[in-house]
Structure 1
């Protein structure tokens, strides 16, 4: 739960509820449609129908977030450029008071295979520029806090990434300029931090959390 890793979450949540009286949706490190952290304060009826009918696949705001890093008002998204169902989804959202809103997105799909975004909704009016600034600032604080809470160093992530690609300990040691024993000791620490029984499970946990991207190697240089 994001409250356990973000010390200021209670304060940030309160600020978002003021800016977005009709609710907000926060997803961090979405990978294969599964987020590492997910918070939604949208109306319960909307969340239920959105989930049951898999609107995320056709939601123009969600689709915008998957292909952009930045921020936008909902009214600035060209709904007609997406699925024919996109306009109907936006109309249905208005049935629940989600008339105006904004989205902030950080897509790292090419690098890590992950996506993070924050959506905010109002019923009465467009969000002001200063509100957009604050939403983006809050989003950046949340991402920074989650990253800071991650237990693995870049070196440790690299070890897991190499293991995911099938490299043996000896080759990983050579790439990192250390001994094989050092790699084994680092793996012991990694397993402890992730609560993994073995290296295979450590790779699986890290992949699920978006700490590494398990991709096939591109081939020999």
Structure 2
């Protein structure tokens, strides 16, 4: 199974385990995740953003303070803004937060249900899936010289034919370089690969 297919299968699995949705921030660096995915209802997402809850969320504070898994009902972090109650009012009544990885590249994910607490075996399954996602999305240490050259041409606005001519290679060879860099950076598009290369400080 390819890395992209593996990621998609893991996200699908998490969705089945978290019927009221989830948020996943992979490799949070400089206060922003390198990759994020969320399936919460739009109404809750809009309410959360409008109230600036990301900076006050006790689940995120807990995720940065330790690693492991914790039901929201057992969080040892104060919630002075009643964010968890607001979540419950939006149907996210029972929740779970999982934190994994070093503080400089932390992965934090939260999951919600409306009907009951997460069971121990579900927590173990979710935790193992998050660890796997954290590992398979670990940013590369570097790109090859050819991959960097190809991305720089794109960054400078060159079209494929012009970029190939500039590098002294065929257009098909240039396209192959772009495919390889997209795969290395787990990006769907070249534009996404370019942004990730910048975010990862590889260019």
Q: Aligned to 2:127, what secondary structure does the other structure show?
A: helix
- Indicate which of 93, 98, 105 corresponds to 1:104: 98
Report what 2:130 is aligned to.
139
In structure 2, list runs of 5 or more residues that go unmatched. 154-194
Report what 2:59 is aligned to.
61
- Per the alignment, do residues 190 and 119 of structure 1 end up closer, same or farther by CA in structure 2, a change over 3 Å counting? same
1:196 to partner: Cα distance = 4.1
Q: Kindly provide the CA deviation profile for residues 107-142 of structure 1, in whole angstroms up to 9, marking residues without a partner as x.
A: 423xxx322112111011111110001101111121
Whether the aligned pair in 2 keeps the contact of 1:152 and 1:190 (CA below 8 Å) is no
How far apart in 1 are the matches of 2:116 and 2:94? 6
Whether the aligned pair in 2 keeps the contact of 1:25 and 1:42 (CA below 8 Å) is yes
Report what 1:191 is aligned to.
148
Report what 2:80 is aligned to.
84
Q: Aligned to 2:22, what secondary structure does the other structure show?
A: strand
The Cα RMSD (Å) is 2.6
Q: Aligned to 1:118, what secondary structure does the other structure show?
A: strand
Report what 1:73 is aligned to.
71
1:21 to partner: Cα distance = 0.3
TM normalised by structure 2 equals: 0.69
Runs of at least 4 residues of structure 1 off by over 6 A?
A: none
Report what 1:152 is aligned to.
141
- Indicate which of 43, 46, 58 corresponds to 1:45: 43
How far apart in 2 are the matches of 1:205 and 1:16? 24
Report what 1:177 is aligned to.
none
Q: How many residues align?
A: 160
Q: Is 1:14 aligned to 2:25, yes or no?
A: no
Q: Aligned to 1:8, what secondary structure does the other structure show?
A: helix
1:13 to partner: Cα distance = 2.3
Whether the aligned pair in 1 keeps the contact of 2:27 and 2:105 (CA below 8 Å) is yes
Q: Is 1:30 aligned to 2:28, yes or no?
A: yes
Q: Aligned to 1:16, what secondary structure does the other structure show?
A: helix
